[in-house]
Structure 1
């Protein structure tokens, strides 16, 4: 039986919160700092979902995508004026950071 690590549990809780949130209507079709906001959401969501389904591990390509998304978010967050949109993307930022900095699980012997 697979044991869930604390980072996985924390990400899973935040992920469930995110899944219950509505995408901010004002950001549909919006592009900020050169990033399509819907695509940014989808890219991070895909990486988080894979990470959770792979026991806290991401392949190199997805990790690179996630790091690019984090860099984009770090430019975008200060541009968001609407509270709902800011909360939505702050949560995505937190998810992306948590996943990208979590230590990959060690193989069991």
Structure 2
């Protein structure tokens, strides 16, 4: 588990990269495994934003959302269904951010 400053730096760096990346056009309005891709993106973005705004202390609701999003991406639901390189990179980054939000900052 990363130390607090490494944790924050990792999440901040991922967030900056995410904010600079366009949403994959082929996934606008799309669902994979019954999961709305735009909503998944927005849910994780809200969790990350809250985590950063609250200095690493998101509320319980945001933690539950982040945990659910990690599961949606991990359990062979979404990531294996993505085929385009940019889609895979975009949602892997989202998965890493959601996982960091879910981890307690030491």
TM-score of the pair, normalised by structure 2:
0.90
More RCO (CA 8 Å, sep 6+): 2
- The count of corresponding residues between Structure 1 and Structure 2 is 101
Runs of 4+ in 1 over 6 A off after TM superposition: none
CA distance in 2, matches of 1:46, 1:91: 15
Counterpart for residue 41 of structure 2? 41
CA distance in 1, matches of 2:54, 2:8: 10
Unaligned runs of 5+ in 1: none
1:7 and 1:102 in contact (8 A); partners too: no
CA RMSD of aligned residues (A): 1.2
Q: Write out per-residue CA displacement over residues 19-62 of structure 1, whole angstroms, 9 at most, x where no aligned residue.
A: 00010000000001111000000000000000011111111111
Unaligned runs of 5+ in 2: none
TM-score of the pair, normalised by structure 1:
0.88
Counterpart for residue 95 of structure 1? 97
CA distance in 2, matches of 1:69, 1:26: 20
* 1:5 CA drift (Å): 2.2
- Aligned pairs for 1:19-98 (under 5 A) are 19-74=19-74, 75-98=77-100
